[in-house]
Amino acid sequence: MKTKLFLFILLVLASKLATAQRTDYSKYVNTFIGTDGTGHTFPGPCLPFGLVQPGPDNRDKGWDYTSGYQYKDSIILGFSQTRANGTGISEFGDVLLQPFLEGHNNNFAATYLKASEKSSPGYYTVVLSNKIKVELTCTERVALHQYTYPTNQAKLLVDLQHGLRFLTDSLVLESDVKIEGNKTISGYCHTKNWVDRKYYFTIQFDQPFLSFIQFKKESKENAPRYVLNFNLKNKILQTKIALSTVSVDGAKLNLQKELPRWDFTATVKKAKNIWNSYLSRIEIEAPQKQKEIFYTCMYRLFIQPNNITDVDGKYRGADDSIRVAEHNEYYSTLSLWDTYRAAHPLYTIIAPERVNGFIRTLIAHSKAAGFLPIWAAWGKDNYCMIGNHAIPVIVDAYNKGFSGFNAKEALDEMIRSTSQNHFNSNWRLLDQYGYYPYDSLDNESVSRTLEHGVDDHCVATMAKETGRKDIAETYFKRSLYYKNIYDPSTNQMRGKDSHGRWRNPFNPLSATSPMNNPGDYTEANAWQYFWTPAQYDIEGMIQLLGGKKNFTAQLDSFFTIQTPNANKYLGQEAMIGQYAHGNEPSHHIAYLYAYSDTPKKGQKYIHQIIHEFYNNGPDGMIGNDDCGQMSAWYILSTLGFYQINPANNEFVLAAPQVKHAVIHLPNGKQLIIDTENFSLQNFYADEYFLNGHKMIKPSITYHEIMNAGKLHTKMSAQ
């Protein structure tokens, strides 16, 4: 009987897994979520961690158009092949194509029929006002466009001067482009915008163009713009655009290996299947609206980092040399100040096969550049934001048992990056004073001091684990520098000058940002940055405030004190009191209530954030998605846990926002998340049980998650 029962259970589990794999999760993805407002997402197709992201560009500059797109805009300049997801600064926008008929007058922007604009993972379509239907899809390194014209007499703009710009009008420094026969255009462009980079391309058409004209280059233009003329057979023109960081030959090899045939429908189908293989890694039982938000967040999470190797493993490194990546993986679009907090911890659970490649990339970048990446795009650092947050990503992976990288090399690069001065980091100054004096830096003195504390704690943790006790002692000591800028008279982390004098005047509600309002904080105010050390030293913070009662009171004040005239350009967006969900320094703070006298208050605020600041419409994301960080927060919080400390292997438990979920893990394992008494009114977790055993601590470890089983939560309305 036991054998029969066991076989029956196996059959049931196999049936459930097969059902999960057959489910079309892509139907729940709304690629327009976050495209209206400050989410800065885009609706075009892409593949998980792929190099290309073709899509419509409404504008080529402006903070609202960092992805090139805003939902309410009525103009399309054309369709470029690369962009970033949810960033605060523009980059990419390579190789713009725009189909048209006549009467352009050197202005190729077109209006479009909004009702015709549709999108799903791996596919985008729109009908322009000239009745040309545009359809886009892609592989990892190759974009595929299909244009259906109302006539066989067709024209196409190929604009290599175009790009998504930030504080620049020139963009292209140099180019070398060749028209090869009547079906191919190939070349490269060297651009300087957020980063200084080179991209190589080849454009191929399924039909020959009869003639072309090249426009005269205007002032500061260093790349060509062409108009191609076609006489089509059936009113349909297809074009492939392959990209490479290495060479034209690399781009051509990418095209040959990934998209040798002209089959638009098959390419869309393959892209959809690939997306479902990722989206199906978590099942949730939820209403349609919640599923749309959840699986769109899953989709956004997997857009980046982007593997920038060619199919043969070659890539252009941070020092501009051509290298060959181990296992053909070298990742960029690394928004580490954002993504170390939730996105990378989530990758370790639902995309563990990528993690070793991420870490090898960070080490290789550091060897080439001299320090670990801060914010990498196309393999080059743009030095955006502060801290050295490749470090917590490495330590998190090491602590969780990932071993596909050299741990000694990783620690050596971490030490080098935090001991030799480089951009945004002055270790001699920091060690001289035990903080960054605000009169010795241009801005962000408090935020830089606090962000370095997170990294230093992580270095110390890994040094301790690998037997480097002397290093561990030094870095643990340095991680406590935050106490040197704590002002007990205001209960805030406050700017201090090189003579030990506090910043005056001081308003803890006043937010500063290096570009818009320089001051001591990075896109935040004193209240929001106060909680940074709590990522790794909660006990120290409790002691600093004089005990748990005061710690609780500080949290209560944080979530209730209002800010007049909150400014989204200074990170003051999606607010609950001083909590600003629209920017990353706040993301862990609601979970700190787990260590307070009133742990359930945090669950209330998490519930409020999920239901007020995420929606399933174009305006459904308040604040930049920041390469999947906002999405990762939603996914983890929906499941009911979040990793506060990037170096301790623990996820703090909260209340799941779904009745039932299944995380499909490697080797056929799964973690079942089951919620008792679940409803929208019951959002307080009373007790947790792991595999039938009541949990004492309000946390679950990574290894407990990955060992699979059942996490059961009992809920109530109070």
Domain coordinates in residue numbering, the chain: 40-279
Spell out the residues 6+ positions from residue 337 whose beta carbon is closer than 8 angstroms to its own: 374, 375, 384, 385, 386, 387, 389, 451, 584
Query: Is residue 204 within 8 Å of residue 184, measured between CB atoms?
Result: yes
Asked if the model's pLDDT at residue 606 lies above 90, the reply is yes
Asked if the model's pLDDT at residue 12 lies above 50, the reply is no
pLDDT digits (tens, 9 = 90+) for 330-360: 999 999 999 999 999 999 999 999 999 999 9
pLDDT digits (tens, 9 = 90+) for 218-237: 888 999 999 999 999 999 99
pLDDT at 18: 53
Q: What value does the mean pLDDT take over residues 568-591?
A: 97
pLDDT at 577: 98
Place of tokens 């886009």: 136
Query: Is residue 140 within 8 Å of residue 48, measured between CB atoms?
Result: no
Number of C-beta neighbours around residue 293 at 10 A: 24
Query: Is residue 141 within 8 Å of residue 311, measured between CB atoms?
Result: yes
Query: Measuring CA to CA, which residue among 654, 653, 655, 610 is closest to residue 633?
Result: 610
Q: How confident is the model at residue 21 (pLDDT cuts 50, 70, 90)?
A: low
CA angle 63, 64, 65 (to 5 degrees): 90
At 597, list the tokens: 């006298």
pLDDT digits (tens, 9 = 90+) for 177-187: 999 999 999 99
Q: What percent of the chain has pLDDT over 70?
A: 97
Asked if the model's pLDDT at residue 685 lies above 50, the reply is yes
Asked if the model's pLDDT at residue 436 lies above 50, the reply is yes
Considering the segment(s) 40-279 as one domain, its CATH architecture is Distorted Sandwich (2.70)
Q: What is the mean pLDDT of the chain?
A: 95
pLDDT digits (tens, 9 = 90+) for 648-668: 999 999 999 999 999 999 999
Query: Measuring CA to CA, which residue among 336, 401, 338, 327 is closest to residue 362?
Result: 336
- Calculate Rg over the CA atoms of the chain: 26
Number of C-beta neighbours around residue 234 at 10 A: 9
SS3 assignment, position 272: helix
pLDDT at 6: 42
Asked if the model's pLDDT at residue 14 lies above 60, the reply is no
| 459 vs 663: CA distance, rounded Å | 31
The conformational region for residue 378 under phi > 0 = left, psi -120 to 50 = alpha, else beta, is left
SS3 assignment, position 172: strand
Spacing of C-alpha 137 from chain mean position: 21
Query: Is residue 654 within 8 Å of residue 641, measured between CB atoms?
Result: yes
Instruction: Tell me how many helices (H) and strands (E) the chain has.
Output: 18, 35
Query: Is residue 531 within 8 Å of residue 481, measured between CB atoms?
Result: no
| 346 vs 355: CA distance, rounded Å | 10
List b or e across 84-102, with b for residues whose CB sees 16 or more CB atoms inside 10 angstroms: bbbbbbbbbbbbbbbbbbe
pLDDT at 617: 97
SS3 assignment, position 101: coil
| 80 vs 55: CA distance, rounded Å | 6
Amino acid at 409: E
pLDDT digits (tens, 9 = 90+) for 538-566: 999 999 999 999 999 999 999 999 988 89
Place of tokens 């992580």: 458
| 514 vs 114: CA distance, rounded Å | 37
pLDDT at 5: 44
pTM: 0.96
At 613, list the tokens: 């600041």
Asked if the model's pLDDT at residue 532 lies above 70, the reply is yes
At 517, list the tokens: 């309002």
pLDDT digits (tens, 9 = 90+) for 316-325: 999 999 999 9
| 637 vs 686: CA distance, rounded Å | 16
- Catalogue the long-range contacts made by 258-264 (C-beta closer than 8 Å, 24 or more residues apart): 258/139, 258/140, 258/141, 258/142, 258/311, 259/139, 259/142, 259/144, 262/206, 262/238, 264/135, 264/137, 264/144, 264/146, 264/238
Question: What are the respective helix, strand and coil percentages of the chain, to the nearest 5?
Answer: 35, 25, 40
Query: Is residue 580 within 8 Å of residue 526, measured between CB atoms?
Result: no
Identify the bridge partners of residue 478 per DSSP, sorted by sequence position. none
pLDDT digits (tens, 9 = 90+) for 485-529: 999 999 999 999 999 999 999 999 999 999 889 999 999 999 999
Dihedral through CA 367, CA 372, CA 376, CA 378, nearest 10?
10
Strand 709-716 and strand 670-676: the pairing is: parallel
Query: Is residue 93 within 8 Å of residue 79, measured between CB atoms?
Result: no
| 137 vs 155: CA distance, rounded Å | 21
| 587 vs 626: CA distance, rounded Å | 13
| 583 vs 97: CA distance, rounded Å | 34
Asked if the model's pLDDT at residue 11 lies above 80, the reply is no
pLDDT at 717: 84
pLDDT digits (tens, 9 = 90+) for 32-47: 999 999 999 999 999 9
| 513 vs 531: CA distance, rounded Å | 18
| 205 vs 228: CA distance, rounded Å | 11
